[in-house]
Chains A and B, each alone.
Chain A
Amino acid sequence: MNDRLTEAVVLAAGEGRRLRPLTTFQPKPMLPVANRPVVEYVLDALFESGIERAVVVVGHRADRIQSHLSATYPDADIEFVHQDTRLGSGHALLLAEELVTGPFVVCNGDNVIDADIVLKALERFSTTDSVATIAVAESDTPEEYGVVVEDNGRIADIDEHAVDSEGYLVNAGVYVFDDAVFEALRRTPPHDGETRLPDVIHYLDGHVTSVLVNGGWLDPSHPWGLLSVTETLLARRHDDAVAASARVHERALLGDHVVVGDDCDVGPGAVISGGSCLQNNVSVGANSVIERSILSTDARVGAGVVLRDSVVGPGATVGDGVVSPGGRADVILEGRLYTDRRLGSIIGDRAEVGANVTLTPGSRVGAEAVVGAGTVLHGDVRERVEVTH
């Protein structure tokens, strides 16, 4: 344990089904928060904390991650491994076995983390007699995560399906393991066909320690999380918010804590307010109001549109006069009901929403779906479906 630890495995193969329809064509680690894909925060944190080599396990829509990372980190030592079938995060880590020599860091490619978390986990691992260290964070919605049950600073269990949880510590998805993890993973039984990485703690011989990290860990795993994480990160930013190549009409109003990416075009009278981000090449028509919303690359938003707490996917078109008023909604994701969440609507990649459509809170438009003019939409429109009223 005298050698400095310089290798990491990033688990980025998941589908992100709770974030559908945004993950139909994009892998979850590529979803933008504050105009940067989540996986960039992860790699920045790793490289800043002294990691020199990252093995990225990719699966769903792998080409998006590969193209993006090789262009964004041209000098970095990044290797890709493909997980072609959905066999779980534990299986994903096993795929990296030949490419790393322990101990090494493992982290989820779809949580925002900072270097501090990685450094804390490394320190705890190296100063205790442990076979694994897991970063944990406090959460006020522990039921959305794997709840960590602790016993004197050691982890006794991680319950991925805690419903009525008394604990409030959750798995932040940053681990340090030594080589023994691979053998233990082979002994870890799958659940519903998937070998889950957190389950491995029961099959490791030795102590599994935890380290509490707060602040730097943000999880955009649910649609409302994507919005709130973006809002949090934008509030922390102090650098230039509007790209040089963007055109913002002199009579448009940009609030604090917004970002406008390359080649965006914001028309006269438009109001973009706090917590909103326009990725690249987005256009917003005259007199539209965008509040606490994410407009992805190539999104086209017409004139007189109101979008609150909403996400518009890449290449989607939002017609004139569309209203997504935002507010609170009850949402079912992957068969589980989440009540009273702050969420407007979600519009999938390249979907077309016609003029004067009303998108009620919690409604979702599938990728490449078409919603006819004037429709009042409740609930979900499936992928590539055409809806008229």
Chain B
Amino acid sequence: MCGITACIGADDSVDSLVDGLQRLEYRGYDSAGIAVKNGSGISLTKRVGEVSELVAAVEQNPIAGDYGIGHTRWATHGGVTDGNAHPHTDESGRIAVVHNGIISNFQSLRSDLESRGHVFSSETDTEVVPHLIEENLRDGATPEEAFRAAVGSLSGSYALAAIIGDEEAIFATRSGSPLVLGVGDGEYYLASDVPAFIQRTARVIYLHDGDFVVTRSDGYEITDSAGRAVDRPVEHVEWDPETATKGGYEHYMYKEIHEQPGALRRTTQSRLNTHAGGVELEEFPPESFADVQQVHLLAMGTSHHAGMYAASLLNSRGIPAYAFMAGEYSVIKPPVTPDTLVVAVSQSGETADTLDAVRRARAAGARTLAVTNVVGSSITRECDDELLIRAGPEIGVAATKTFSSQVTALTLLTERIVEDVTGAKSPAARDLMEALSRLPGDVQEVLDTSMAREIAIEYEGSDAYFFIGRGVAHPVALEGALKFKEISYEHAEGFAASELKHGPLALVTPLSPVFAIFTGHEDEATLSNVKEVQARGAPVIAITSDRSGEVTEFADHVLRIPDTHPDIAGVLANVQLQLVAYHAADLLERPIDKPRNLAKCVTVE
């Protein structure tokens, strides 16, 4: 997982590259670098650390150039050092390359190159590329031919951009890693993601795997691997500029938590019919899923929790559904039939594990459907159909509003599937639609009234934090723990409430607060689990809509959620847990938007 940028034709190439990298920092921030071409050759600056280190370096020793490439790194091959930072060059320093992805055959390529006398200056997989280009040039190839030939010998996943010799052009290609082309007025940009250049142009071409691009200051050419011209539409991107600012908030995560009411309004807009008590999905008219026999939900991380949530809803309505971690799906190889609907859930639409799993499912004959936040992302091209969650851009590495929007979109999808498969709306449909219609306001109520900061203060310094729930609250417990651990670095675990006494109870002590999630469904059973942990002296924080009953009576603290349909209560409980995690991490002064070792979207397996 890394971010790449490139620009040609802009008056201020260095600023453009560095600015782009700062907006791509969510993709990685171990080290960063840029290479720009000017009259005297390629000038290279790279630094370990966040992009701000690079900015300081460039300010201290200014460099200039007419065009160039940039990179922000999340290390996979080779440690975090200046030497391993991109861009990488050949021995002559006349060829510079940036790369996102993993070149799986780099070991053999490297030993071949070394045996032919090439000297490597880094431990990265990427460095084979400039050396390969250099060899091809020496054999008499043009820069474009040399680039194509080098790419032709690579296996694995990559998005690459290169500047070669004196040719005033940027050469780029993608296969399995994202790359977009920004079309400005005599200015062209390449980047892993749109925010890198959105302030300069909103006209975007989403490149496909196998596409080659050559951009010059007077235009661009897109060709396939055989060199035939391909036509890719220029799309106008509307919402990304929002990524430019934190809107007065200290952290993107906190901003995004507060954006949830608006995000959920967009997710549900025009999709709920509260009169008829059903869903109206433009993408999926009634009967769309009449042939479906079973559903597989594939995802990783937070999206996997949303997938588990949906699987729980589908199963409770009589539709066999299984949520898999996409990375395991390819290993387990569960049986797939033509009437299996595979729903791939990915915020970015670029998650490598999920893309890989989808490809296998499709090859096995399944029907595939992408649930994603990003228009035109890779997963929308890999799948037969797509359902957009419309949450708006999310920059904080810890997913927040996209989880809420994913669960909501999946709940709508669930109702469509149930109605199509069973021939009737689920008995809960009417109440659920009304609850979904109220959900944005309910989330606002949680934001207005939450006592999460007080809870975070109360339990600061505990040994561990546990989260329990059953049914849809089980994935919410897992998500609550994931959020907590990823941004606070404290030990946090989520369990199915029923699982506690089968092992995890041994971990419970007076210094391990337990967050128990009550949805209004099977609350009595969860309450008996609460009593089990209280008997071991652990403090219990109940997340519940219960105002006067037994739950409130037994809990040490209550984080209140509005009364709603049990199937959707998990979304509200999750907002409370997002706030608890945020405040706990804030008290510990963690770098909340950029937790160590993590990246926003994981495009390597």
Contact = CB atoms under 8 A, between A and B. Distances in A.
A349 B442 CA distance: 11
Contact of B259 (A71, A245, A298, A315): A71
Contacts of B275: 247, 265
A245 B441 contact: no
Contacts of A71: 242, 247, 259, 262, 392
B288 to A, nearest CB: 21
Contact of A298 (B244, B248, B272, B438): B438
A130 interface: no
B248 A297 contact: no
A71 B261 CA distance: 12
Nearest to B249: A66
Contacts of B259: 67, 71
Contacts of A283: 274
Contact of B244 (A74, A79, A80): A74
Nearest to B268: A263
B552 interface: no
Interface string B563-589: 000000000000000000000000000
A74 B241 contact: yes
A70 B270 contact: no
Contacts of A62: 248
B440 interface: yes
A297 B239 contact: no
B270 A314 contact: no
Nearest to A280: B265
A247 B437 CA distance: 13
A80 B255 CA distance: 13
B444 A281 contact: no
A297 B441 contact: yes
A245 B270 contact: yes
A60 interface: no
B441 A67 contact: no
Nearest to B247: A70
A262 B258 CA distance: 20
Interface string B262-292: 1001001110111100000000000000000
Interface string A50-83: 0000001010001100110111001100111010
B445 interface: yes
A262 B269 contact: yes
A348 to B, nearest CB: 12
A185 to B, nearest CB: 23
A203 interface: no
Contacts of B268: 263
A234 to B, nearest CB: 23
A25 B261 CA distance: 14
Nearest to A63: B258
B433 to A, nearest CB: 11
Interface string B429-448: 00000000110111011011
B272 A315 contact: no
B247 A314 contact: no
Given A67-B247, A71-B259, A75-B241, A350 B274 contact: no
A315 B444 contact: yes
Interface in B329-359: none
Contacts of A69: 247
Contacts of B242: 70-71, 74
B241 A298 contact: no
Interface residues of A, number: 31
A63 B248 CA distance: 8
Given A70-B245, A245-B270, A281-B440, A263 B445 contact: no
Given A67-B247, A70-B245, A263 B272 contact: yes
Contacts of B438: 298, 315
Contacts of B245: 70, 78
A63 B448 CA distance: 10
A151 B373 CA distance: 61
A338 to B, nearest CB: 29
Nearest to B270: A245
Interface in A235-277: 244-245, 247, 262-263, 265
Interface residues of B, number: 30
B441 A314 contact: yes
Contacts of B444: 314-315
Interface in A326-377: 349-350
A281 B265 contact: yes
A368 to B, nearest CB: 8
A98 to B, nearest CB: 15
A373 B274 CA distance: 25
A314 B445 CA distance: 10
Contacts of B445: 315, 350
B274 A70 contact: no
Name which of B249, B392, B441, B442 has the most chain A CB atoms within 10 A of its CB: B441
A56 B248 CA distance: 9
B269 A67 contact: no
A379 to B, nearest CB: 25
A75 B243 CA distance: 10
Contacts of B442: 315
Contacts of A25: 448
Contacts of A70: 242, 245, 247-248, 255
A80 B441 CA distance: 25
Interface in B391-434: 392
Contacts of B270: 244-245, 263
B441 A66 contact: no
B446 to A, nearest CB: 11
Interface string A212-251: 0000000000000000000000000000000011010000
A263 B244 contact: no
B437 A281 contact: yes
Contacts of A263: 265, 268-270, 272, 437
A297 B272 CA distance: 16
Name which of B241, B248, B249, B255 has the most chain A CB atoms within 10 A of its CB: B248
Contacts of A244: 270
Nearest to A263: B269
A62 B249 CA distance: 10
A78 B392 CA distance: 19
A262 B272 CA distance: 12
A205 to B, nearest CB: 34
Name which of B245, B259, B275 has the most chain A CB atoms within 10 A of its CB: B245
Nearest to A62: B248
Given A25-B448, A80-B247, A80-B248, A265 B441 contact: no
B248 A66 contact: yes
Given A74-B244, A265-B275, A66 B255 contact: yes
B472 to A, nearest CB: 23
A270 to B, nearest CB: 13
Interface string B220-248: 00000000000000000001011011011
Contacts of A349: 448
Nearest to B392: A71
Contacts of B241: 74-75
A67 B258 contact: yes
Contacts of B447: 63
Nearest to A56: B248
23 contacts: A56-B248, A67-B247, A67-B255, A67-B259, A69-B247, A71-B392, A74-B239, A75-B241, A78-B247, A244-B270, A245-B270, A262-B269, A263-B268, A263-B269, A263-B270, A263-B272, A297-B441, A298-B438, A298-B440, A314-B441, A314-B444, A315-B441, A350-B441
Given A67-B247, A263-B269, 8 more contacts: A25-B448, A70-B245, A75-B241, A79-B248, A80-B247, A263-B268, A265-B275, A314-B444
Interface of A: 25, 56, 58, 62-63, 66-67, 69-71, 74-75, 78-80, 82, 244-245, 247, 262-263, 265, 280-281, 283, 297-298, 314-315, 349-350
Please give me the 4 A-B residue pairs with the lowest Cβ-Cβ distance, nearest first.
A80-B248, A70-B247, A298-B441, A66-B248
